[in-house]
Amino acid sequence: MTLPAHQTITEDDLDAQLAAERAHLDASRAALRRMREHAEALFSTGHTVAGDAYTAEALGRQMARRIAELADDPDTPLFFGRLDLRPEQDLRDQGAGSTTRRHDTNPLPDHADHAERARFHIGRRHVGDAAGEPMVLDWRAPLSRAFYRASVRDPQGVVSRRRFGFSGGTLTSFEDEHLDRGEELGTGSRILTAEIERPRVGPMRDIVATIQPEQDELVRAELDTSICVQGAPGTGKTAVGLHRAAYLLYQHRERLRRAGVLIVGPNRAFLSYIAAVLPALGEVEVAQTTVEDLIARVPVRATDDPATASVKHDPRMAEVLRRALDARIGRPAESIVLPDGSFRWRVGAEALARVVDEVRREGLPHATGRERVRARVLALLQRQAEARRAESPSDAWLRRVARSKPVTAFLDEVWPAVTPEALVFGVLCDPEPAAGDLFSPQERALLRWPKPPRSPKTARWTAADAVLIDEAAGLIERPPGFGHVIVDEAQDLSPMQCRAIARRSEHGSITLLGDLAQGTAPWAATDWRDSLAHLGKPDAAVVPLTVGFRVPGAVMALANRLLPALAVDVPPGVSLRADGTLELRTVTDTDAATVTEVRAALGHDGSVAVIAADAAIERLRAALRAAGIETATAEQVGAAGRVTVVPATLVKGLEYDHVVVVEPAEIVAAEPRGLHRLYVVLTRAVSRLSVLHATPLPAPLG
Ligand SMILES: Nc1ncnc2c1ncn2[C@@H]1O[C@H](COP(=O)(O)OP(=O)(O)OP(=O)(O)O)[C@@H](O)[C@H]1O
């Protein structure tokens, strides 16, 4: 148990306090069980009280979600902190309950100003007793904010803050800060240190117990605020993004449940690694995807060479596609003539041209524009019919005329329906008309298919084509948007990928997370302002995260040596960790040395990863297998084997307790931004980093 030295408190007192806290934990677990049983009882009777099948189904879904939210994980503490507030404080001033949306999360009863009521346990979710009094406050409730932000300088009504140490689900210790007596541990908290230095195994965990003030400000930023977080490796960007999602869902439950929250990550291995964090926080409905999967309309069956891919990801392509689509709209040359019983209705080419021009000026998506033209033409025909027949045509007449051959033939001629695939197909068959003055002849040559496929259906699309097809699709029909989009490793998004996300967050906000130093794509951002402009949020603030929680100081110092060569304007990474080890070893046989190193690493707790150039992965895997060591792939998070062999190109965003990096020079040589890749690779270790090399280290490290 950790207590400030000057506190005069006996062992017996401490034991008694610990026993009281354990009793509160037991009582809270029992209360949560009651809440869940109550929800389950409602669930089983729901269909008998709901009026109709639809309501019953909606209610059923809601209850199933509620039951999932109320699940109790016996290995996770229900609360991790406690706040003692000034008894006379009018807690309602702090907004307790007033902005809380859920009926069951009102953290304060009416008699909140009673002395014995000014104590709150803070946990992963709200737990109320039978009378509805809070036993555990949700960490996202307005009142819990003080747990993360209160300081001696700004106590926010807090007299003392208690943090709990746990082993599995059992409470083992606590640590107090009496802010009223000027005590403040900050990052010196032993419980924080133990959490950060804990050997890592398996998937990412939540950090609710130890969110730091600079992180909390980002987590709790307003829903309408878009932000961009720049931070060195291990500063908690991913953690902040995930907790922000949970926080926003709590604060704006109804709105965001309808509009949705989306998390975009760099690859599937990363998504498996983070998948458990939000469910552990009770949030089971957040979509998590890669950009590639988000926009997947066509199967990707070919690859572009890097130069071609770069041209296709260039933001000028948006204008090329816009022009190509615009060129599909024609000028009416003939009148529409519509025989209708004994009548013949006619709209002249001039009038039709006026309609087309007007709709064009409205700048609608192409498909909407086509229907708008149809509606205007129909209105002109209707007006004639009304004038001649002196009565309003029936709905059936309107429907028939709108779909009549002459009207549809006119639309097909002048404002044809276009598929996104056909539009991109046209541009890649012949880039000249639309790209003529925008791209150089060399760039246009790169764009053009060397051997054009026969039709969009037979085309073998590349990943970059898929991005163009999504852009085209967005010109034709707006995709549904999300209420909030969180983009991780955002430095690697191309301008065109940014636009794909912008289309899906036009009416929502975004949280952009990344590190310019870790940009490895050919089009990686060098200035967040550019990315934000392409994302349609040019005014979003760029906020730094400065303290590293993952990488030990010695390892960070090694990685920092690469920074001057990376040509990005970011400060060196700073580590909160004085522990950890770093070893650089010259070896003659990297395979044999890897086996030896992994064997030694397995003597410690925690996960072990071997990271090497992609081309070396199979060889290393075979060497380990031959030595009897089971290995897993990066996607197999939490698999039985403790050793993962990861290609350098897949390791972004991941972390392992002990990392063995094999042949850095080969990692650097494998791609144009190889030094950036090495920077990512060197910053994956939580406790120990071993670098094995038979060839000299890359210059900045040597
Ligand atoms: N406040 C905190 N308390 C405890 N652990 C933390 C805290 N913030 C971050 N961590 C831990 O530090 C590690 C790194 O966090 P995270 O992966 O979010 O960093 P990142 O900035 O996204 O890193 P990268 O740029 O390398 O992807 C994780 O294990 C995370 O749980």
Structure confidence by residue, pLDDT tens digits, 278-320: 988 888 889 999 999 999 999 999 999 999 999 999 999 999 9
Answer whether 690 contacts ligand 1 (Cβ < 6 A): no
The model's pLDDT over 483-501, given as tens digits with 9 standing for 90+, comes to 999 999 999 999 999 999 9
Q: What are the domain boundaries of the chain?
A: 11-88+116-197, 329-415, 566-693
Q: Which ligand 1 atom is nearest residue 513's CA?
A: 22
For residue 105, name the pLDDT band (cuts at 50, 70, 90): very low
Please report the ipTM that was assigned to this predicted complex. Answer: 0.99
Answer whether 176 contacts ligand 1 (Cβ < 6 A): no
**CA 94 from centre of chain:** 30
Is the pLDDT at 194 greater than 70? The verdict is yes
For residue 245, name the pLDDT band (cuts at 50, 70, 90): very high
The model's pLDDT over 426-481, given as tens digits with 9 standing for 90+, comes to 999 999 888 888 999 999 999 999 999 999 999 999 999 999 999 999 999 999 99
Range scoring the smallest mean pLDDT among 11-15, 260-264, 321-325: 11-15
Do the annotations mark residue 77 as ligand-binding? no
Is the pLDDT at 666 greater than 80? The verdict is yes
Task: Using CA atoms of 394, 395, 400, 402 in order, give the dihedral in degrees to the nearest 10.
Answer: 110
Query: Within a 10 A sphere around the Cβ of 490, how many other Cβ atoms?
Result: 32
Q: CB-based contacts of 647: which residues, under 8 Å, 6+ apart?
A: 611, 612, 613, 614, 617, 634
The model's pLDDT over 402-411, given as tens digits with 9 standing for 90+, comes to 999 999 999 9
Mutate to test the pocket of ligand 1, among 207, 208, 515 (most ligand atoms within 8 A of CB): 207
Answer whether 128 contacts ligand 1 (Cβ < 6 A): no
Is the pLDDT at 685 greater than 90? The verdict is yes
Q: How far apart are CA 117 and CA 122, in angstroms?
A: 14
Task: Give the pLDDT score at 97.
Answer: 40
Task: Give the pLDDT score at 9.
Answer: 64
Is the pLDDT at 372 greater than 90? The verdict is yes
Over residues 643-668, mean pLDDT: 96
Class of domain 566-693: alpha beta
Do the annotations mark residue 405 as ligand-binding? no
Q: CB-based contacts of 483: which residues, under 8 Å, 6+ apart?
A: 223, 252, 255, 256, 258, 259, 260, 261, 508, 509
Over residues 34-46, mean pLDDT: 78
Is the pLDDT at 321 greater than 70? The verdict is yes
Distance 676 CA to ligand 1 centre (A): 19
Task: Give the pLDDT score at 702.
Answer: 80
Structure tokens at 86: 């000034």
Distance 653 CA to ligand 1 centre (A): 9
What's the chain's average pLDDT?
89
Task: Give the pLDDT score at 100.
Answer: 35
Answer whether 491 contacts ligand 1 (Cβ < 6 A): no
Distance 198 CA to ligand 1 centre (A): 12
Do the annotations mark residue 238 as ligand-binding? yes
Mutate to test the pocket of ligand 1, among 189, 191, 208, 237 (most ligand atoms within 8 A of CB): 237
Distance 320 CA to ligand 1 centre (A): 41
Answer whether 189 contacts ligand 1 (Cβ < 6 A): no
Residue nearest to atom 25 of ligand 1 (CA): 233
Task: Give the pLDDT score at 202.
Answer: 77
Q: Which candidate, 44, 87, 81, places its Cα nearest to that of 63?
A: 44
Task: Give the pLDDT score at 205.
Answer: 87
Task: Give the pLDDT score at 374.
Answer: 97
For residue 99, name the pLDDT band (cuts at 50, 70, 90): very low
Task: Give the pLDDT score at 640.
Answer: 62
What is this structure's pTM? 0.89
Over residues 530-559, mean pLDDT: 95
Answer whether 212 contacts ligand 1 (Cβ < 6 A): yes
Q: Which of 12-21, 30-39, 105-114, 502-511 has the highest mean pLDDT?
A: 502-511
Q: Which candidate, 600, 588, 605, 661, places its Cα nearest to that of 629?
A: 600
Q: Which ligand 1 atom is nearest residue 680's CA?
A: 26
Is the pLDDT at 117 greater than 70? The verdict is no
Distance 313 CA to ligand 1 centre (A): 30
Over residues 53-80, mean pLDDT: 76
Distance 239 CA to ligand 1 centre (A): 6
Task: Give the pLDDT score at 3.
Answer: 46
Task: Give the pLDDT score at 114.
Answer: 44
Task: Give the pLDDT score at 133.
Answer: 87
Distance 247 CA to ligand 1 centre (A): 17
Is the pLDDT at 64 greater than 80? The verdict is no
Element (H, E) at 17: helix 11-49
Q: Which of 47-61, 387-401, 578-592 has the highest mean pLDDT?
A: 578-592
For residue 223, name the pLDDT band (cuts at 50, 70, 90): very high
Distance 3 CA to ligand 1 centre (A): 27
For residue 110, name the pLDDT band (cuts at 50, 70, 90): very low
Answer whether 274 contacts ligand 1 (Cβ < 6 A): no
Is the pLDDT at 225 greater than 90? The verdict is yes
Task: Give the pLDDT score at 101.
Answer: 34
Over residues 594-607, mean pLDDT: 95
Q: Which ligand 1 atom is nearest residue 212's CA?
A: 1
Distance 594 CA to ligand 1 centre (A): 27
Residue nearest to atom 8 of ligand 1 (CA): 236
- In the chain, the percentage of residues whose pLDDT exceeds 70 is 93
Distance 610 CA to ligand 1 centre (A): 20
Element (H, E) at 174: strand 170-178
Task: Give the pLDDT score at 108.
Answer: 41
For residue 615, name the pLDDT band (cuts at 50, 70, 90): very high
Long-range CB contact pairs, 395-402, < 8 A, 24+ = 401/338, 401/340, 402/374, 402/375, 402/378
The model's pLDDT over 380-395, given as tens digits with 9 standing for 90+, comes to 999 998 888 877 889 9
Answer whether 687 contacts ligand 1 (Cβ < 6 A): no
Answer whether 486 contacts ligand 1 (Cβ < 6 A): no
Do the annotations mark residue 580 as ligand-binding? no
Structure tokens at 333: 């040359």
Structural contact between residues 463 and 433, judged by C-beta atoms closer than 8 angstroms:
no
Q: How far apart are CA 614 and CA 633, in angstroms?
A: 13
